[in-house]
Amino acid sequence: MKVTKRDGRVVDYDRNKIIVAIQKANAEVDRYEQVSEEKIDAIVAGIENKHVDNLQVEDIQDMIEQKLMSEHKYALAKKYIIYRYTREMVRRANTTDDSIMSLIQNSNKDVMEENSNKNAYIASTQRDLIAGEVSKDLTKRVLLPEKIVKAHEDGVLHFHDMDYYLQSIFNCCLINIGDMFEHGTVMNGKLIESPKSFQVACTVMTQIISAVASSQYGGQSVDVRHLGKYLRMTREKYERHYEEKYGDKVPAEVRKAFADDRIADELRSGVQTIQYQINTLMTTNGQSPFVTLFLNLDKDDPYIEENAMIIEEILNQRIEGIKNEKGVYVTPAFPKLIYVLDEHNCLRGGKYDYLTRLAVKCSAKRMYPDYISAKKMRENYEGNVFSCMGCRSFLTPWKDENGNY
């Protein structure tokens, strides 16, 4: 005979467990309220005489209570009911024990393989997954209406992100990186001032991306056009340096060539910083930041030339890939890339068509970037062009009391 447990597991019938449970209740009452060992054996035999292939554990306990009542052992029946209730409370209190221990033992495949961006064998990731199991438990038992939990368990609907529902944090966002670059920002109680060079701006961007990823549970998108200003700062810094160092001793075109070489090096290094930082940083939610870079050339942008250089470098480095642990170049998981098509780069003789051809080459090898039509976005979003998330979902817009985004 088999027994179906409350959690759905089917186990072999064990008569000794029933005997021990009744004996424990027996020991709690006066002698005249106790049942003999013969009576206990008779109760167990009555259960076994049902001759069924499977019994629910609740049905077995109901039969025991009914038999004790029929023997007029009311105090004993009450003790058994209390024992049964206490066991139920213990089970409810320990609802996460099995799932958490199985995570530590690397045997909880459902949770470990739920998110391919999380390596469940790493200690920091395990801590996030453990917190997720606690959040799911409290969400089901305390936070959600019972009918929602039942519908979720029955597969009528799916309640997303129970592993983060416990906390008042949100899902995805478009980072206002331009404002933080322009006016500085604060992280961990420390002031980060406005960058003075492209390399520093790239480093600050990855720090912001990491901080945001640690404070939410979804994706984020960053518009790289805000970096253009700092690439120009770098250019002006090197041009000023070589002019002050050499003056008229070196022709202007040679000084410019020197500056161009330094700028190319810093551009390559800055983009590499973004790519490697994003793929190696470990955030508090146990994974690399789920971030998308928005590659958009706005014709009204005063730094459009610098941004074209940045986009070109991003695409070239994505085509190259990054090395895995065996030294083989592979496609990095992040950042996702979204390339914006507009009148000046739609392969109809525009100035920046070369970037679109490079983007197509990149997509053919690395499956990214995705593409967005600026023309259609302006039609659908009141003249605005902005990034979606890496999953291609657009966030719900927020407007102030004056109707401004």
- The SS3 of residue 342 is coil
Is cis: bond before 145, omega within 30 of 0? no
Neighbours of 370 (CB within 10 A): 15
Report pLDDT for 83. Answer: 76
Q: What share of the chain is helix, strand, coil (3-state, %, to 5)?
A: 55, 10, 35
Q: Which residues pair with 3 in a beta bridge?
A: 11, 55
- The SS3 of residue 294 is strand
Write out the two tokens for 306: 């610098």
Tens digit of each residue's pLDDT, the chain (405 residues): 888 876 567 889 899 988 988 898 888 888 888 889 998 999 999 888 888 888 888 888 889 888 888 888 888 888 888 877 777 666 666 667 778 888 888 887 878 877 777 888 888 888 888 899 899 989 998 899 989 999 999 999 999 999 999 988 888 999 999 999 999 999 999 999 999 999 999 999 999 999 999 999 889 999 999 999 999 999 999 999 999 999 889 999 999 999 999 999 999 999 999 999 999 988 887 888 999 999 999 999 999 999 999 999 999 999 999 999 999 999 998 999 999 999 999 999 999 999 999 999 999 999 999 999 999 999 998 899 999 998 888 988 888 888 887
Residue spans of alpha helices (H) in 171-227? 177-183, 198-213
**What does the pLDDT look like over 146-182, one tens digit per residue?**
899 999 999 999 999 999 999 888 889 999 999 999 9
Query: For the whole model, what pTM was predicted?
Result: 0.76
Q: Cβ distance 267 to 310 under 8 Å? A: yes
Q: Which residues pair with 265 in a beta bridge?
A: none
Pairing of strands 220-223, 291-295: parallel
Specify the fold of 173-380: Anaerobic Ribonucleotide-triphosphate Reductase Large Chain (3.20.70)
Neighbours of 201 (CB within 10 A): 24
Domain residue spans of the chain: 2-93, 100-153, 173-380
Residue spans of alpha helices (H) in 49-158? 57-70, 74-93, 97-104, 109-112, 123-138, 146-153
Read off φ and ψ for residue 337, nearest 5 degrees.
Answer: -125, 140
Is cis: bond before 335, omega within 30 of 0? yes
Neighbours of 395 (CB within 10 A): 17
